[in-house]
Amino acid sequence: MIKPLSFREKRGTSCPTGYGICSTIAQQCSLAVNKADIGREAETEDGRNKMERLNSLKKSILLICIQRKDVSDKKKKKKKKKKKKKKKKKKKKKKKKKKKKKKKKKQQQQQQQKLITSGFSQRALHFQPDAWNFLAHQKKK
C-alpha cells in the first residue's frame, strides 16, 4: 500500500507523466528512473527501444500516482462516512432528548390538572360557575 507523503518527502523534480510535482514515494520513482537509465545505456543505437523504455517508465510512475490517489480517496470517503454516521447519531440523540422533554412537560401538566380538579369538590363547583369555566378553559389547553 502506498502511503500519502508529507511535504518533506516530496521531491522538486517534475513528474515524467506531466502531472506537475511528482506525488509518488521518492524511492519508487528513483528506482524506476534507474531501471530506465540502465535500459537506455544498453540500447543506445535503437531509438525506438529508448522511447518504449520512457513510455513504460511514464506508465509505471502514473500507476503509482493513481494508486496513491485511490488510497487517499478511500480515506476521504471513509472519513466522510464516519462523519455522516456521527451526525446521524447526534441527530437521533437530540430527537430522543426532545421527545423525553415533551413527555415530561405533558406529565407535569396532567399532574397540575389533577391538583386543580381535586382542589374543588363537585358540590362547590355546582355553586361556583366561575370555577367551572376556569376548569373548562384549563381542559381546552
- Which residues, other chains included, contact 58 with Cβ-Cβ below 8 Å and sequence gap of 6+? 16, 17
Q: Note whether residue 121 is domain-resident.
A: yes
Does 74 reside within a domain? Answer: yes
The full DSSP string for 13-51 is: SBPTTSSSB--S-HHHHHHHHHHHHHHHHHTSS-HHHHH
Confidence of residue 95 (pLDDT cuts 50, 70, 90): very high
Which residues span the domain enclosing 50? 26-140
pLDDT tens-digit readout, 22-54: 444 444 455 555 555 545 455 555 555 666 766
Does residue 12 lie in a domain region? no
Higher pLDDT, 122 or 51: 51
pTM attached to this predicted model: 0.31
* Residue 1 belongs to some domain of the structure: no
What's the number of domains the chain is made of? Answer: 1
Question: Is 113 a domain residue?
Answer: yes
